[in-house]
Structure 1
């Protein structure tokens, strides 16, 4: 009986154990089945998505920066260009985990040291010390502070040269510190073209001067590359899936001749000091094409600086009453309308009253017997009014407009002022006459140059230009389209005016001359509003067409508040210096003797 009970108990234990084993087996079977199902699902159903996710985590699209086009002078000399630079960036999190490798016989090819000595730190401090050894103008404390942040991206230094970037690569900090390609805009000649060139902002967009005016042409199109990166951030060979090349911006070639610009700038700076003037402006224009060879002022503004970006070139923004240079416009109108010939005779006092308004000439000369040519040669305000007795307000306005007064030059230079010219119905009794001799309206130096260039170009006004051509990344050059000139006065009238303007040069020949060359010129002096709000300042100007017998260039100079006052004795010698340089540089043949001078006295 006892044995039977023991057997029953033993059987019961075996049965219980068997049940437990079976239960555990079932559970293990279920787990195994679940694993198999999951594995099958992963491999057969979700495998592609998993692989794609893994690939995506390694895939990066890296931008390829385009380079901004260059700005060149007419001879191909580089005035502005973008050069290869790098922005050095880091992963602060990895930097904080960095452990430098001590130099031993086994690790000497890839160990970390500074000037042959151990780094002496770990983490961000070690990375900072290594970088400070090759980065100029930075210190380890400054770099360490940038690396001790809770971030995966930190900019350490901008505009690093390729040489420095290669030195950083040699520090074996791959994946922690790297360089991102960028560019820096450099200007070759400092203040030579300062505000005229302007500058670009932090994104490389032109914001002033020619950089702004030609921004669309100069700006390139960025590209990109898509590939997989390794753990150190390096490209895994053979994983490139997309590559779109960057396309650089167009090169822009100016009509400016850098050598002429340099000389004009030099003369203007010297003249500013010589005459005690706050500023001086100079323009050199090709008579036949309208191309601007030099456009300068005495301001010392370096291209690309904040000052250059915030201030337009004085040569295009400054406006002033032209003074007696404006007489060539009125006299051209007298001749073109047939009201006078240059030989017409006048008896001219030095002061007179017209319509209740008192006028006078610049100097006391008593009553003189001058021809119309003599009125221009002696720059007589009284004579100009006397000759205009049949010259209507509409005609006075018409010829000012025909010569380009009060209008844009068409150059589209940022900051350029059109000057001012009001309509005749707004003129008072005095302005009705002052417009005859260059007062009552304002111009900029470019407009004034084109007035004289129009006469020198046989009466045809050319569209001025400062952009010669553009050349794209493929090397294709597109010349700036030239518009057809506009006839303002007949060729015969222009010839007569050149003759009269030569007589003006004769008056100033003792100090405004270029040996071997005939000059056709006109001076101007005008009172302008000073800082006290009254007519307490002076603007003097002078414009020369040279050689007078075969005009090649017009040179115009403008000077504010000079010691000496009158344009002929201040702006004139400045213009003559520039003319002398032009004759030598371009090897212009000397003039033939003058034989057809129109009498200035009777």
Structure 2
């Protein structure tokens, strides 16, 4: 009985143990099944999502900057261009984790590089170590650089406009993506103050903000591209992981009509003339007669292209306005001939002073009654003579021919900051102004406009649209030639010839001062009072503008000086004109003039 009871107890224990084992087995099986299900879920369901997240974390889209187009002269000489530069970026957060690899260690042997400063161990960790390695390469103070790289932010600009060789030296420091360079560009100008304000400059984003850089910004600016790739832990590109890209399209090259050599010589002659005469400033323009192309556009201002001064100031040749003085008599003579009111040979008795409608007019120097033809009035630059000759020349006609010659209007060159001068309508003229406009007072113009007045006479009475842009060459090699405005006939060919004839007589009067061996000149001088620093008429502008050679005009030159010693345009600006004219004749190998045998009589 006792044995039976003992057996029953053992059986019960064995059964309970078996039940517990089965229960534990079931639990383990359930756990294993759950793990298998989770594993399958991770591998089969969530795997792609996880992998994509990892890929996204490694993927980087980098902008590929387009290079800004070049600005060249008419012969291809580069005046402005963008060069490859880099902006050096640091990651302070990663810098804090940096540990240099000492040379001669197994770690260095495995990595294939080590870190050292002047052949010695770096002797620091984190941002301080980065600064000690990087500062000598960039020419920076290591203490200041270390401070800049301290922190938890992920982006700090260390230095801009770094040359490619320096960027390669930084790459060789093996800083593991803590410091890297992004491609940028720097605008450089080849000729210092030559064409300074005319070229203008760009801002930090490489956008033109002044001068031709602004005027042609849409052509010069390119279109940025990009690349998409995966990067390693050090920030480097993982080979073969580029998934998308778009090529950058560089900006177009803009060729000017400016001839660099001519412009350089004009600047030189102008500066020398300014110093010799003690003038406050000088302006000079050279224009090709047949095409209206501007070959030189200079002043004596010393603004370096790309500088803040060049960005804040407009080229004086287009911004400075002034009364042209007696050069305006060229327009008056052309109008009198074109309307048929007079011929160049018409005779006048011209006194020193003359009163009309209560207003007195006089010439620049005292003289008795002179017997001059209309051509002689121009030759002798008589204010009284043009007022007398214009008795039947209405105010409307006076205004008409001033506007036809381009006075008080935009040149059409579209240079930012151009001042077109002031020409009021006849209704706004008082009794005196209606006559002073006949001899270049009572309205203002700029040197560009004044040049085209004489170029119209030189071009047989046809006014061309002036041009400064010769061509635009796009990144794909195609060349675009900007369309110029249509030419306009202002006066008949014979009228232009007679005015030119009178202007040649003017030039002959200054032959001792304004002379180019072998070449005839037709020109006009001008002197006008302008406001000085005190706001009163205490300053003068002296100008000399003309064509060369007179018998076959190829070029028009205008020279303007402010407050020169010697006052009169023929004496002060004239010699500079001759100096520039001689250079042009030699450079372009212009045939010498034939003798003059058609002079219109100036006296009777």
Partner of 1:218: 220
1:111 equivalenced with 2:111 (yes/no): no
Partner of 1:501: 503
Q: What runs of 5+ residues in structure 1 fail to find an aligned partner?
A: none
Return the alpha-carbon distance in structure 2 between the equivalents of residues 309 and 241 of structure 1.
42
Query: Structure 1 residue 317: deviation in Å?
Result: 0.5
Measured against aligned partners, the alpha-carbon deviations of 1:357-406 in whole angstroms (never above 9, x if no partner) come to: 11111111222111111100110000000000000001000000100011
3-state SS, counterpart of residue 441 of structure 2: coil
Query: Structure 1 residue 12: deviation in Å?
Result: 6.3
Partner of 2:473: 471
- Describe the shift of the 1:360–1:43 C-alpha distance in structure 2 as closer, same or farther (beyond 3 A): same
Query: Structure 1 residue 35: deviation in Å?
Result: 1.9
1:315 equivalenced with 2:317 (yes/no): yes
Partner of 1:334: 336
Partner of 1:69: 69
- Describe the shift of the 1:527–1:10 C-alpha distance in structure 2 as closer, same or farther (beyond 3 A): farther
1:43 equivalenced with 2:43 (yes/no): yes
Q: What runs of 5+ residues in structure 2 fail to find an aligned partner?
A: none
TM-score (norm 1): 0.97
Return the alpha-carbon distance in structure 1 between the equivalents of residues 6 and 600 of structure 2.
155
Query: Structure 1 residue 14: deviation in Å?
Result: 5.4
Partner of 1:491: 493
Query: Structure 1 residue 6: deviation in Å?
Result: 7.0
Return the alpha-carbon distance in structure 2 between the equivalents of residues 591 and 68 of structure 1.
45
3-state SS, counterpart of residue 315 of structure 1: helix
1:163 equivalenced with 2:165 (yes/no): yes
Alignment of 1:20-59 (within 5 A): 20-59=20-59
Alignment of 1:440-451 (within 5 A): 440-451=442-453
Matched positions, count: 601
- Describe the shift of the 1:3–1:353 C-alpha distance in structure 2 as closer, same or farther (beyond 3 A): farther
Return the alpha-carbon distance in structure 2 between the equivalents of residues 340 and 260 of structure 1.
40
Return the alpha-carbon distance in structure 2 between the equivalents of residues 214 and 204 of structure 1.
13
Return the alpha-carbon distance in structure 2 between the equivalents of residues 231 and 259 of structure 1.
55
Residue 236 of structure 2, aligned match among 234, 237, 243: 234
Partner of 2:521: 519
Q: 8 Å contact 1:527–1:538 — kept in the other structure?
A: yes
Return the alpha-carbon distance in structure 2 between the equivalents of residues 402 and 506 of structure 1.
28
Return the alpha-carbon distance in structure 1 between the equivalents of residues 522 and 48 of structure 2.
85
Return the alpha-carbon distance in structure 1 between the equivalents of residues 265 and 16 of structure 2.
112
Query: Structure 1 residue 160: deviation in Å?
Result: 0.5
3-state SS, counterpart of residue 321 of structure 2: coil
Query: Structure 1 residue 44: deviation in Å?
Result: 2.3
TM-score (norm 2): 0.97
Query: Structure 1 residue 51: deviation in Å?
Result: 2.1
Residue 306 of structure 2, aligned match among 286, 304, 307: 304
3-state SS, counterpart of residue 212 of structure 1: helix
Partner of 1:197: 199
- Describe the shift of the 1:19–1:597 C-alpha distance in structure 2 as closer, same or farther (beyond 3 A): same
Query: Structure 1 residue 27: deviation in Å?
Result: 3.3
- Describe the shift of the 1:6–1:188 C-alpha distance in structure 2 as closer, same or farther (beyond 3 A): farther
1:481 equivalenced with 2:475 (yes/no): no
1:379 equivalenced with 2:381 (yes/no): yes
Measured against aligned partners, the alpha-carbon deviations of 1:206-241 in whole angstroms (never above 9, x if no partner) come to: 010000000000010111111111222222222221
1:84 equivalenced with 2:102 (yes/no): no
Measured against aligned partners, the alpha-carbon deviations of 1:177-228 in whole angstroms (never above 9, x if no partner) come to: 1111100000001110111000011100001000000000001011111111
Partner of 1:126: 129
Measured against aligned partners, the alpha-carbon deviations of 1:288-327 in whole angstroms (never above 9, x if no partner) come to: 0000000011000011111111111111101000100000
Residue 407 of structure 2, aligned match among 402, 405, 408: 405
Partner of 2:347: 345
Return the alpha-carbon distance in structure 2 between the equivalents of residues 78 and 506 of structure 1.
40
Bigger shift: 481-490 or 354-363? 481-490
Return the alpha-carbon distance in structure 2 between the equivalents of residues 14 and 98 of structure 1.
64
Bigger shift: 473-482 or 308-317? 473-482
3-state SS, counterpart of residue 137 of structure 2: coil
Q: 8 Å contact 1:114–1:133 — kept in the other structure?
A: no
Return the alpha-carbon distance in structure 2 between the equivalents of residues 466 and 168 of structure 1.
43
Return the alpha-carbon distance in structure 1 between the equivalents of residues 267 and 12 of structure 2.
116
Partner of 2:439: 437
Return the alpha-carbon distance in structure 2 between the equivalents of residues 11 and 126 of structure 1.
76
Measured against aligned partners, the alpha-carbon deviations of 1:69-127 in whole angstroms (never above 9, x if no partner) come to: 00000000000000000111122122111111111176375111122122121111111
- Describe the shift of the 1:91–1:15 C-alpha distance in structure 2 as closer, same or farther (beyond 3 A): farther
Bigger shift: 7-16 or 546-555? 7-16
- Describe the shift of the 1:597–1:30 C-alpha distance in structure 2 as closer, same or farther (beyond 3 A): same
Alignment of 1:92-103 (within 5 A): 92-103=92-103
Partner of 1:282: 284
Query: Structure 1 residue 28: deviation in Å?
Result: 2.9
Measured against aligned partners, the alpha-carbon deviations of 1:452-480 in whole angstroms (never above 9, x if no partner) come to: 00000000000000000000112211122
Q: 8 Å contact 1:86–1:182 — kept in the other structure?
A: yes
Return the alpha-carbon distance in structure 1 between the equivalents of residues 148 and 337 of structure 2.
76
Return the alpha-carbon distance in structure 1 between the equivalents of residues 72 and 375 of structure 2.
44
- Describe the shift of the 1:33–1:323 C-alpha distance in structure 2 as closer, same or farther (beyond 3 A): same
3-state SS, counterpart of residue 342 of structure 1: coil
Q: CA RMSD in A?
A: 1.6
Bigger shift: 166-175 or 377-386? 166-175
Partner of 1:565: 567
Return the alpha-carbon distance in structure 2 between the equivalents of residues 474 and 19 of structure 1.
85
Partner of 1:293: 295
Partner of 2:425: 423
Bigger shift: 101-110 or 297-306? 101-110
Partner of 1:135: 138
Measured against aligned partners, the alpha-carbon deviations of 1:527-580 in whole angstroms (never above 9, x if no partner) come to: 111221211110111101000000000000111111111111111111111111
Query: Structure 1 residue 48: deviation in Å?
Result: 2.2
3-state SS, counterpart of residue 117 of structure 1: coil
Return the alpha-carbon distance in structure 2 between the equivalents of residues 139 and 9 of structure 1.
90
Return the alpha-carbon distance in structure 1 between the equivalents of residues 332 and 569 of structure 2.
19
